[in-house]
A and B are shown apart, each in its own frame.
Chain A
Amino acid sequence: DAGVTQSPTHLIKTRGQHVTLRCSPISGHKSVSWYQQVLGQGPQFIFQYYEKEERGRGNFPDRFSARQFPNYSSELNVNALLLGDSALYLCASSPHSNQPQHFGDGTRLSIL
């Protein structure tokens, strides 16, 4: 079975632009979560979606938004990019709570 896939793998943007990151969960997993990992830190929770509804939101500004589609894939959108948004963005899927989350390889976003 395919694991969690994320696209693109690398992305370079300039300040003020917007970006869309994509994630396909493992087949059968209805929950998708997004995390931001800044160099040298652990991942920070951004969003969680389950059955296309937002279940949780981390401490991120409104420039960050996400959605989940009927096939359970998900997009993370970030508007008005700042230098501090440079990070590895990770997507994870899980069938339900109290189960391991499976991570994709991430999208490396660099803001110039």
Chain B
Amino acid sequence: SQQGEEDPQALSIQEGENATMNCSYKTSINNLQWYRQNSGRGLVHLILIRSNEREKHSGRLRVTLDTSKKSSSLLITASRAADTASYFCATEGGSNYKLTFGKGTLLTVNP
């Protein structure tokens, strides 16, 4: 079953604009991770935020985590056409390495 739910399901923006995607989850977590997937290929890891962290940056990416609301957001600043992809949040909880994914947000950046 899917734990995370991304919002929106699809997002279309112009190059240079910022893109914000949200993720909600249901159970307690050890960490939350964001992945990118191009055209049904393998997933590329973007950023991991642990349950005791509130915000993390990596290049043009900014991730926030609110464990009280069980939600996270991914912000991509100054988007590029190459950012066009599906973005998934995934939670890791408990004593194993299992990732539970949401259904993803399809981001389209128009040149």
Contacts and interface: CB of A to CB of B under 8 A. Distances in A.
A56 B102 contact: no
A103 B42 contact: yes
Interface of A: 4, 31, 33, 35, 37, 39-45, 48, 50, 55-56, 58-59, 88, 90, 92, 94, 96-106, 108
A59 B88 contact: no
Interface of B: 1-2, 4, 30-31, 33, 35, 40-45, 48, 50, 88, 90, 92, 95-104
B42 A106 contact: yes
Contact of A42 (B41, B44, B96, B102): B102
B96 A98 contact: no
25 contacts: A33-B98, A33-B99, A35-B99, A37-B40, A41-B2, A41-B103, A41-B104, A42-B88, A42-B103, A50-B97, A55-B97, A90-B42, A97-B30, A98-B31, A98-B92, A100-B45, A100-B48, A101-B33, A101-B45, A101-B99, A103-B35, A103-B42, A104-B42, A106-B40, A106-B41
